[in-house]
Amino acid sequence: DVKVTQSSRYLVKRTGEKVFLECVQDMDHENMFWYRQDPGLGLRLIYFSYDVKMKEKGDIPEGYSVSREKKERFSLILESASTNQTSMYLCASLRDRNYGYTFGSGTRLTVV
């Protein structure tokens, strides 16, 4: 089975900090995604990547950036954390369009 690993389950950061969320997948998938999940809003796409060094904005990219230097690793960066970025962050990997995402366990980020 594909495994998607998010490095932290819980994080607490201060406003203004630069925050790195790491995601690693072990099945050589080309496509990786970052979503945030908020009650009543479902999953909203922040950024995605089709291949190494390639990235595209999702629906809510403001305040975020990403890095994909290696195929297996996709990092989400909060340049200057704000309290409205307190959320559950989910990373996903995709084999191809017909197989659906495999999600990591999520990182619950609290910005204080």
Partner 1 sequence: GQQLNQSPQSMFIQEGEDVSMNCTSSSIFNTWLWYKQDPGEGPVLLIALYKAGELTSNGRLTAQFGITRKDSFLNISASIPSDVGIYFCAGQLRGGTYKYIFGTGTRLKVLA
Rule CB under 8 A: which residues touch partner 1? 4, 9, 31, 33, 35, 40-45, 48, 50, 58-60, 90, 92, 94, 96-106, 108
Query: Closest CB to partner 1 among 78 and 94?
Result: 94
Residues 93, 27: contact at Cβ < 8 Å? yes
CB of 101 to partner 1, least distance (A): 7
CB of 82 to partner 1, least distance (A): 20
CB of 30 to partner 1, least distance (A): 9
What is the distance in angstroms between the CA of the first residue and the CA of the last residue of the chain? 37
List beta partners, residue 75: 67
Distance CA 83, CA 104 (A): 23
